[in-house]
Amino acid sequence: MAKAIAHDRTWTFLLKDWRQAMPNRVIEPDYRMIHVVAEKRLREKMDEPCPLTPGKIRSETHLALFVPEKVGNQAFTLAQFTALFHDPVFGINTDWKKRQVFDQLQSVGWYLVYIGLVPCSCRKTTEEQCALLPTGYQMAGVLQTALLIRCLARKYHRSLPTNILGRVSEKTNDGARVRIGHASRYYDPKISDTIRSPRTGVFAMLPVI
């Protein structure tokens, strides 16, 4: 069973973190009041009990994440993610870059992303995994998961176990569910979406705004 990483801090990657990571780029849209309201709601949600890890609160098991609409003058998509972050922390399969859906993909908003795979979600189909998600939660998207992995590595110097994979919400053009791992070799578009893999769980997120 994959567990959330133990820590002694609140995990965040919000507007301030974006500006520190991209000091020469404008993060848009910059509507101050929206960010104030969103981050207040995030803090409220972070203080609540974690429905996926009994005995802990969300600030111990989730990353508070802001996904911008634009970075610089470019829409923030998976294609933009790969252009901005040139490092080996998160592998993007080259086939993804050829698929139009990922060039158009956007996930603007504020989220609480569970750090790790949903407990007991391995060896299950996508439908069975979705049934494990608490009320209000969704299967995490590829952008949220990519940012989670990179943030853990670059900001907090932590990493998820390298032998795990996690399904995310998007599907490729051929219908195969996208899987996220620490290297592109974990992705195989020929694998059926209903495969019961012993090490493929699911990533989860709670949209806040």
Residues 6+ apart with CB under 8 A from 192: 176
Residue 116 lies in a domain: yes
User: Closest by alpha carbon to 164, among 141, 142, 180?
Assistant: 180
Q: Residue 12: phi, psi to the nearest 5?
A: -145, 150
Residue 2 lies in a domain: no
HSE toward the beta carbon, residue 127, CA cutoff 13 A = 1
* Rg, Å, the chain Cα set: 16
Residue 1 lies in a domain: no
Work out how many domains the chain is built from and give that number.
Answer: 1
Give pLDDT tens digits along the chain (209 positions): 444 444 445 789 998 899 888 888 888 766 778 888 988 999 999 999 999 999 999 999 999 999 998 888 888 887 788 788 765 555 444 455 555 556 666 788 999 999 989 999 988 888 899 999 999 999 998 889 888 888 888 888 887 776 667 888 877 666 666 777 643 333 344 444 444 455 678 899 999 98
Residue 49: strand, helix, or coil: strand
Residue 168 lies in a domain: yes
